[in-house]
């Protein structure tokens, strides 16, 4: 069975500080990977997706970047956090054998002060 792990569970960071959030998928080779973000009271929106190692496509510009250094790993980062980056970050993968649905990790709660 596939498992998806995100780290950290929660972060409290200062404005202007760097950020790195991680996501690892186990039990699924060459998955499509996605980052989503939900501001408090807002709607879930896709930020990035990756279909292979080293390739990442940006969907929404939020002064964030993403990388896929390994087949099972997806990293979300920025060098300078903004207050508007606060929210809930979800990593997901897509199972091609199961008709297009995406499976989500537990998420990371980010608070920028």
Partner 1 sequence: GDSVTQTEGQVTVSESKSLIINCTYSATSIAYPNLFWYVRYPGEGLQLLLKVITAGQKGSSRGFEATYNKETTSFHLQKASVQESDSAVYYCALSDRNAGAKLTFGGGTRLTVRP
Residue 104 CB coordination number (10 Å):
15
109 is a site residue for partner 1 (CB under 8 A): no
65 is a site residue for partner 1 (CB under 8 A): no
From 66, 36, 64, 68, select the one nearest 52 (Cα to Cα).
Answer: 68
What binding mask, one character per residue, do residues 21-40 give for partner 1 by CB under 8 A, x or -? -----------x-x-x----
Q: How far is the CB of 17 from partner 1 (least distance, A)?
A: 26
Q: For partner 1, which is the closer residue by CB, 8 or 18?
A: 8
Say how many Å lie between the first and final Cα of the chain, rounded. 38
Quote the radius of gyration of the chain (alpha carbons, Å). Answer: 13
Q: For partner 1, which is the closer residue by CB, 12 or 44?
A: 44
Binding to partner 1 (CB under 8 A) within 71-90 occurs at: 90
Collapsed DSSP state (helix, strand, coil) of residue 83 = helix
Task: By CB under 8 A, name the one of 35, 37, 49, 74 that touches partner 1.
Answer: 49
Residue 71 · residue 29 · CB < 8 Å? yes
Residue holding tokens 């990593």? 91
Residues that bind partner 1 (CB under 8 A): 32, 34, 36, 43-46, 49, 51, 57, 59, 90, 92, 94, 99-107
């Amino acid at each position: 069975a596939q498992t998806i792990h995100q780290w950290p569970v929660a972060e409290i960071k200062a404005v202007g500080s760097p950020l790195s959030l991680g996501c690892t998928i186990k039990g699924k080779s060459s998955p499509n990977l996605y980052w989503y973000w939900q501001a408090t009271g807002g709607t879930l929106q896709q930020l990035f997706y990756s279909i292979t190692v080293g390739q990442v496509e940006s969907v929404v510009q939020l002064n964030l970047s993403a990388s896929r250094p390994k087949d099972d790993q997806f990293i979300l980062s920025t060098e300078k956090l903004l207050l508007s980056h606060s929210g809930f970050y979800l990593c997901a993968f897509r199972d091609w054998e199961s008709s297009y649905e995406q499976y989500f990790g537990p998420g990371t709660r980010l608070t920028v002060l």
